[in-house]
Amino acid sequence: MAEAQQKQQQKKKIKQTRHISAIKRNRQNKKRRIHNKSALSTVATAIKKVKAALLKKDTNSAKAALIEAIPLIDSAAQKKLIHHRNAARKISRLTLQVNGLGR
C-alpha cells in the first residue's frame, strides 16, 4: 500500500529544474493554471445555470442566466481559455434554446 502511495506522489511532482528561468517559468505556469481553471469553472457554472433553467422551462430565469453567461463566455474567448469559435457556438446554441422556450 505504501509503495502505491509513493508512486502517486512521484507522479504528482513536477520535474524540478536547475535553471533559474525554468524555475520561474514553472512558478508562473502553476499560477496561470490555477487562474485559468477557476475562470473555466465559472463559465461552466454559468452554462449549467442556463441549462437548468431550460429544463425547468422557466423563460425569465433562462433569459437572465443567458445574459449573465454571454459576457463570461466572451471574456474566456478573449483570454484564449476557449477558442473563439467554440465560444460563438456555445452562445449561439444557448440563445437558440432560450428563444425556443418563448414559443
Domains in the chain: how many in total? 1
Instruction: Output the 3-class SS for 62-103.
Output: HHHHHHHHHHHHHHHHHCCCCCHHHHHHHHHHHHHHHHHHCC
Query: Does the residue 12 lie in any domain?
Result: no
Residue appearing with cell numbers 481553471: 37
Query: Does the residue 3 lie in any domain?
Result: no
- Per-residue pLDDT for the chain (103 aa), expressed as one digit of tens each? 677 777 676 666 666 788 999 999 999 999 999 999 999 999 999 999 999 999 999 999 999 999 999 999 999 999 999 999 999 999 999 999 999 987 7
Predicted pLDDT of residue 102: 73
Q: Output 77-80 pairs: Cβ under 8 A, ≥24 positions apart.
A: 79/36, 79/39
Predicted pLDDT of residue 1: 66
Specify the pTM. 0.77
Q: The dihedral of CA 46, 47, 53, 55: what is its sign?
A: negative
Query: Does the residue 14 lie in any domain?
Result: no
Query: Does the residue 13 lie in any domain?
Result: no
Query: Does the residue 28 lie in any domain?
Result: yes
CATH number at residue 28: 1.20.58.110
Residue 40's nearest CA partner among 3, 89, 73 is: 73
Q: What range defines the domain where residue 50 resides? A: 22-101
